[in-house]
Structure 1
Amino acid sequence: MSDNCSFEEVDKLMRSLELVIYVPTFVFGMVLNTMALVVFCILLRKWTESTIYMTNLALMDLLLLMLLPFKMHATNTCWSPGMKPFCSFLENMYFVGMYGSIYTIVCIAIDRYIAIRHPFRARELRSKKISLCVCLAIWGIVLLATSPTYTFGEKRLKEFHCFHEFSKKGWHPALIVSVELCGFLLPATVLVVCSCLSIHGLRESESGSRDTQAGVRIIFSSLCAFLVPFTPCHVGIFLQFLVRNEVITDCEHKKKISLFVQLAMCLANITCCLDALCYYFIAKEVRSTKPQRLSISVRKNTSTSET
């Protein structure tokens, strides 16, 4: 049954949908992330822990965006067997950009949680040097963690579609469990918990104040930039894993899952544009003429709760 299951209709539909999604994502994403780098690196002239993390996020997003033209080309064109090493490199960089963005967003949430809920310890735990080291560590970790996607030793005897035909090695249970747990569930849990505690701390400090509202908007924008694109993506990866391991065998179900996975992966790339919400609020915060107001109010609240 699985041998006779044709995905031609799904692939034909996705060729059109990918153009509709990727072209505006690429254009707006490149513009917004380039502008973000200009603002953070040149115009603001004020490096903080937040701007360092946001700069790293913009770099991750740009890496992801630069691969979209290759994905569009690979969807519509078969690559020759000799292109497999280059394809493997592109696939690896794609996952570096994706999971690098995920962990950078999580680090932003943790950094804010420390600043809001533990303002006195923040003097020890937060610094520009620490933020820079964390960002470098993120690059190193995601490069190492995504290395299993490399398949330089695998030989192709026929033409193939890059980004669409992962080997059996790429769907190994241990790898998928690691991706789901370490790549999504754990970061999502940390992000949600830190965000909820941070929002609670802000609202306790000065409920309804302008600075509090700005802080809440920053946190909600980070949650949106994470949960909206990445949740469907990882649900789709799990469903496709069930298909690859023949847990799901019905042809119609397999077609629907194939469509869902490809569409979810396309939509996951809109995080490159959603992150612009974070850029806007962070830049507004850094340019604020009263940067200490929120910090002072949180310290007062913390001191009161400790006594």
Structure 2
Amino acid sequence: MDTSISNTSDPVRVIQWIIYIPTLVVGFPLNLAALYLLLFRICRWTESTVYLTSLIVNDILLLFSLPFKMYAYQNLWGLSMGFCSFLESLVFVNIYGSIVFIVCISADRYISLQFPFSKGLRSPRKATLVCLAVWLIIFAFTPPVYDLHKKENNTSSGNANETRCFQQFSNNTWQKTWIIVTLESVFMISTVSIVFFSVRVMQILRQLRRRNPLDEKLRDNKSVKIVLTNLVAFLVCFIPYHVAAFVYFLAKNYKEDTEIFHLRQFVHISSTVGSVNCLTDGFCYYLVLKESLLNVQRERGRMSSANMVTTSKRERGTGVDGHTGGKGSIGLAR
């Protein structure tokens, strides 16, 4: 393939297709099915389901952009650059939305175990407000994405008259130190947070199970599996990209473009690997939805049992009253 069409190599494009096709084929049905269960089967909003809904919507936004991204790496961009920038912003939103929502889910599990009687610390309403704040903040940071392809600043390799998307950003982009510092800081703080919450959840549950070895709720608690699943997905999907972006940023400002070609390929590959979070999040969906469905079934079971007891008492009460009334009538007749 003519290298003038793209600044990525053939092996990189092969890796992208190998990862993106399964991600799309499996990810779309998985996320839509999870959203359907939340909205139409569970119909019960808890802190976990609120955060999970935001995570699902976040993943669907990335999945929407993937077909266009696959096209952009194979061809010159034939659509509007405004739409291109919008799609690129969805990738940014997905990466940092996923990072923050995963941290929120782990933090919520930690708070529920560490402070079980402090109801004021967590509620579905507060979880909703947190999610709204996250969405607003992340989208508020997307405007720089719309400047990635400014022609007056675009001196990167390749024909300046060619229009590309998802690649060949302007050199000016990599000179904005505040962008890379902000992104890397968010990632590092999130990494420390999720590791802390994961370790503490495991420690707290281990202590509780030792004190109450026969407690079924503690044995069935999904918190450890949920935070560990989130932790593994977080580390696998996002560490490579942030390492690649940081190293490339340093090299871009101190070396010629011809000397950093392989680093550029590393950035593209690590970004591709990051999209796998749409699949790895599925394990979190499964655990949270399973827990929610079990809770709903238990609630319905308790309500059904309570209704049966109430109905039985009423029936017994009616039978006694009728019998007493009969005796009274006979006595009066006598």
TM-score range, shorter chain: 0.7 to 0.9
Shift, 1:10, TM fit: 5.0
Count of residues paired in the alignment = 283
Structure 2 counterpart of 1:278, one-letter code:
C
Task: Determine helix, strand or coil for the equivalent of 2:60.
Answer: helix
Corresponding residue of 2:182 = 178
Listed one character per residue, the Cα deviations across residues 72-96 of structure 1 (whole Å, up to 9, x for unaligned) are: 010001125x732221121112211
- Partner SS, residue 9 of structure 2: helix
Distance 1:214 1:109 in 2: 12
The runs of 5 or more residues in structure 2 that have no matched partner are 153-159, 300-334
Of 163, 169, 192, the residue aligned with 1:189 is 192
Note the C-alpha offset of 1:161: 2.1
Q: For structure 1, which runs of at least 5 residues remain unmatched after alignment?
A: 1-5, 293-307
Higher RCO structure, 1 or 2 (CA under 8 Å, sep 6+): 1
Deviation at 1:9, TM superposition (A): 9.1
CA RMSD of aligned residues (A): 2.6
Asked which structure has the greater CA Rg, the reply is: 2
TM-score (norm. length: structure 2): 0.78
Describe the superposition over 1:173-204 as per-residue Cα deviations: whole angstroms up to 9, x where unpaired: 1111111112x111111111111111111111
| CA distance in 2 between partners of 1:173 and 1:12 (Å) | 31
**2:167 aligned to 164, 177, 183, which one?**
164
> Does structure 2 retain, via aligned residues, the 8 Å contact 1:53–1:131?
yes
Quick check: 1:149–1:170 contact (8 Å CA) kept in 2?
Answer: no
Which of 281, 304, 308 lines up with 1:275 in the alignment? 281
Residue 67 of structure 1: SS of its match in structure 2?
A: helix
Give the match for residue 17 of structure 1. Answer: 15
Distance 1:132 1:264 in 2: 31
| Percent identity over paired residues | 37
User: What pairs up with 1:6-45 in 2 under 5 angstroms?
Assistant: 10-45=8-43
Contact 2:6 2:75 in 1 (8 A): no
For the pair 1:286 / 2:282, whether they are aligned, the reply is no
- Aligned CA distance change for structure 1 residues 9 and 99 (closer, same or farther; 3 Å): closer
Alignment partners' CA distance in 2, 1:20 and 1:153? 27
> Equivalent residue of 1:101, what SS?
helix
Aligned with 1:262 (options 268, 272, 276): 268
The answer on whether the counterparts of 1:113 and 1:197 sit within 8 Å (CA) in structure 2 is yes
Taking the aligned partners of 1:30 and 1:133, their CA distance within structure 2 comes to 27
The one-letter code sitting in structure 2 at the alignment partner of 1:221 is T
Q: TM-score, normalised by structure 1?
A: 0.85
Q: Distance in 1 between matches of 2:228 and 2:89?
A: 30
Of residues 108, 111, 115, the one that matches 1:111 is: 108
What residue in structure 2 maps to residue 50 of structure 1? 48
1:98 maps onto 2:102 in alignment: no
1:126 aligns with 2:122: yes
- Alpha-carbon distance between aligned partners in 1 of 2:14 and 2:257, rounded to the nearest angstrom: 27
